[in-house]
Every structure is written in structure tokens, then in C-alpha cells.
Structure 1
């Protein structure tokens, strides 16, 4: 009986340790360089396990859930376009950190395809002795230059995690708040709770692994000439006009000729690029 009790205790501890912890951050952004008064706010999740962590948009999970329900119904359930529009996110990327190998992977869409690259720049922190209280946590200050911005982070050792939102991490504690010096991007921890496991994120199209520099080139090319991605040879993979599986949805209403569809898609892409002309990473 004693051995059974020890085994049961060991299994309980193992199960508890294996649980995934979800940290909810409020992300505040000024994505339009020409209109800094346009402030966007939404929540994002940082799910952490002993092996890895994943940072992604809360709205993405909600949209995925709607799409999954429709798929499981065989298309019987109609999608509420207004609801889906309200769940559009400025955080279209995911960031996954491999704890064992100390690697960070960034994933985002360009056109119809998914791109993934390994972050090749270390984040070098300068830790200060300055401390304060944020909510219930005692936090300590740290600063770094990353992606063309100067960042100030406040981390806590009250929680047993050395991680943070977006690509940030590598401090001796969990980042509770991190903000750039211009006040254009900030991540603020709101709450945390345990979940059973990492959710499955829907993925449409191909996944192309590239170097970070190649990703940036493709991203720039797409913004400058989105239609080059709609023909063979324009991108790494061929992209079809009018697909609803890509980052640019097909225009509403059927029966339009291809030239009109291409024009509308190009206008929408350029409009989206303008609204996102102040990215989190400037270089």
C-alpha cells in the first residue's frame, strides 16, 4: 500500500508538472505609422510547458473554433461574417520557443503560404537593480535593443518561468510587462491559469521554412507587388487568386471577372500594408 501511495504521488506530481500554464497578455499597438492616434488593443496567450511555449492571438483561437465547428458540421453551419470580422487580429503570427534547444521560431503568412524561420538574433538584456510592484508581483527592470526598438521589461521571480510574450525571454523570471521607449507597443500580463494542453491551431496552405532575411524579402515583395504572388514563380510557391484559405480573402460576391478580382485584391493588400506600416520590428 505504501508503494502504491508513493507511485500515485509521483504520478500526481508528474501530471501537475506536465500541465500547460496560460498567461494572458493585453497587447497595445500603434500599427499605422501615419496615424499614431489609432491604438489597437487585443489579448494574446503565452502557453508554457516544460518543453516549449507558444505565443499567439486570442482572436485566432476564437476564429479557429468557429471554422472547426463549421467543418465538423460538413458546412451545414453558416459563418457569421460580422462575427468573423470582429475577431480579425493584428497578431497574425505565432512565436514558438523550444526550451530544450533554446531556439525561437517565428511563423506568419505571406499571401496563401505559411512561412517559418528561426530567430537568429540573441536578445541581450541589461538588468537593473530597480524594482517595483505590478499587481501582485514584485518585478525588476531590464532593458534591451531589439528589432530596431529600445525595450524596457519588468520581470518577476515570483513565478517559476523564464519566458515572456512575443520573442522576449532569457531573463531570470517571467516578463510581466515589456514596452518600447516610444510607447508604440506594449505587452501587459493580465492573468494566468492552467489548461490541459496546447490547443491545435488551424493551418491552411503550405509551410515554407526560410531564413529570417528571406522572409523579410518575401514580405517586402508581397507589400510592393502582391499580384506577383498570384502567378507561377512570383513567390516560393504558386498562389491562386480568389482562395479563401490565404491571408487575403476572396472579394465578396461571385461572378466578378479575374481582372476585377485581382484589382480589388491588390487594393486591399496595399490598404492593409498602410494600416500596418509601423511593425513591431523596424529592422
Structure 2
């Protein structure tokens, strides 16, 4: 009986350890450089297991779920545009940190395909002696320069994770708050709870693994001429603008709408989280 009791405790401990912990952050941003009064706020999840962590927008996973259900039930004619607009996000990326090899993988859509790169810039933290309390956690101050911004982070050793929102990691605790010196971006831990497992992330289009510098080049190509960029993506599949997927739509009208959307998107994101 004693052996059975020990086995039960061991199995319970293993099951608990295998669970994924979800940390919910409020992300505040000023993505339009010409309109700093337009402040965007949304929630993001940092899901952490023993092997890896993932950071992504709450609206992104909800939007993916709606799109997947729509495709399964008959395609684009069933889209509820108001619902999709309500799930718009300024965080169209996801970030995975692998605990074993210490790699950080960034994924974001450009045009029709999903691009993925391994972060090649280390986070060099300066840990300061200043401490305070945020919510229930005793936190300590740290600073770093990353992506053209100076960041201040507050981390806690009350939680057994050396992780944080966005690409932030490498501190001796979990990042509870991070903010850049301009006040354009901030991440604030709101709550945490356990979930059964990581959600399935839908990957519409091709997955393109590239170097970070190549990703930046592809992003610039899309911004300068979105129609040509997306036609090159379609061309690689043997489909051109106005072909089977374009239906009876006028190619010139489609190009104009696409360019307008790209310009609007560029304006909305003229103050990106990484400046270089």
C-alpha cells in the first residue's frame, strides 16, 4: 500500500508538472507614429511548459478559430465581417522559446504566407538593485537595449520561470512588467492560470523559414509593392491575380484595394515595436 501511495503522489506530481501555465498580459501600444493619442490595448498569452513557451495575441487565436470554423463550413461567404473586425490585433506574430536549445523563433504573416526566423540578437540585461512590489509579486528592476529601444523590465523570482512576454527572457525570474523608454509599448501581467495544453495555431499558406535579415527584406518588399509581392507568392503555386482564386473580380480593382489596405496597414504600424 505504501508503494502504491508513493506511485500515486509521483504520478500526480508528474501530471501537475506536465500542465501548461498561461500568463495573461495587457499589451499597450502606440503603433501610429503620427498619432500617439491613438493607444491600442489588448491581451496576449504567454503559455509556458517544461519544454517551451509561446507568446501570442488573444485575438489572434480567437480569429484563427473563427476562420477555421468558417472554412470547414463552406468558405468565405459565411464570414461575419463585424466579428472579424472586433478581433483585429496589432500583434500578428507569435513567438516560441525553446527551453532545451535556448532558441527564440518569431513567426508572422507577410502577404499570403507565414514567415519564420530564429532571433539572432542576444538580450544583454543589466540587473539593478532597485526592488518594489507589483500586485502580489516582489519584483526587481532590469534594463536592456533591444530592437532600437531601451527597455525597463521588472521580474520576480516568486515564480519559477526565466521567461517573459514578447522576446524577453534570460532574467532570473518571470518578467511581470516591461516598458520602453518612450512609453510606446508596455506589457503588464494581469493574471495566470493552468491550461491543458498549447492551442493549435493555424498556419494558412506556406511556412517560409528564413534568416531574420531576409525576413526584414521581404517585409520591405511587401510594403513597397504588396500586389507584386502577393502575385509572386501566387505565381509560385501556378496561380496569378484574377485567376481561379480571384473569381470574376477585376484585377485592376483588386490591385487598388490591396494597395489601399497595405497603405492603411503601414500607417497603423508606422511605429513598430522594433525600430531596427
Q: Structure 1 length normalisation: TM-score?
A: 0.91
Aligned match of 2:86: 86
Aligned match of 2:266: 273
Pick closer, same or farther for the CA change 1:41–1:240 going to 2, 3 Å: farther
Structure 2: give runs of 5+ residues left out of the alignment: none
**Alpha carbons 1:230, 1:239 under 8 Å: kept:** no
Give 1:51 deviation, angstroms: 0.2
Pick closer, same or farther for the CA change 1:237–1:129 going to 2, 3 Å: farther
- 1:212 counterpart = 2:212: yes
**Alpha carbons 2:153, 2:178 under 8 Å: kept:** yes
How big is the alpha-carbon RMSD for the aligned residues of Structure 1 and Structure 2?
A: 2.3
Cα deviations across residues 18-49 of structure 1 (Å, max 9, x unaligned)?
10000000000000111111110000000000
Pick closer, same or farther for the CA change 1:68–1:154 going to 2, 3 Å: same
Residue correspondence of structure 1 range 26-65 to structure 2 within 5 A: 26-65=26-65
Pick closer, same or farther for the CA change 1:11–1:242 going to 2, 3 Å: farther
Aligned match of 2:250: 257
Aligned match of 2:180: 180
Query: How many Å separate the matches in 2 of 1:109 and 1:239?
Result: 19
Aligned match of 1:167: 167
- 1:128 counterpart = 2:128: yes
Query: How many Å separate the matches in 2 of 1:70 and 1:230?
Result: 23
Aligned match of 2:109: 109
Aligned match of 1:12: 12
Give 1:236 deviation, angstroms: 8.2
Give 1:238 deviation, angstroms: 7.5
- 1:282 counterpart = 2:253: no
SS in 2 for 1:232: helix
Give 1:72 deviation, angstroms: 4.5
Most deviating of 234-243 and 186-195: 234-243
Aligned match of 1:194: 194
Q: Structure 2 length normalisation: TM-score?
A: 0.93
Aligned match of 2:138: 138
**Alpha carbons 2:234, 2:240 under 8 Å: kept:** no
SS in 2 for 1:231: helix
Aligned match of 1:98: 98
Most deviating of 63-72 and 80-89: 63-72
Give 1:240 deviation, angstroms: 5.3
Pick closer, same or farther for the CA change 1:195–1:234 going to 2, 3 Å: closer
Cα deviations across residues 164-212 of structure 1 (Å, max 9, x unaligned)?
0000010000000000000000000000000000000111000011000
Pick closer, same or farther for the CA change 1:54–1:235 going to 2, 3 Å: farther
Query: How many Å separate the matches in 2 of 1:191 and 1:237?
Result: 44
Query: How many Å separate the matches in 2 of 1:152 and 1:239?
Result: 47
**Alpha carbons 1:231, 1:238 under 8 Å: kept:** no
Pick closer, same or farther for the CA change 1:174–1:7 going to 2, 3 Å: same
Aligned length: 275
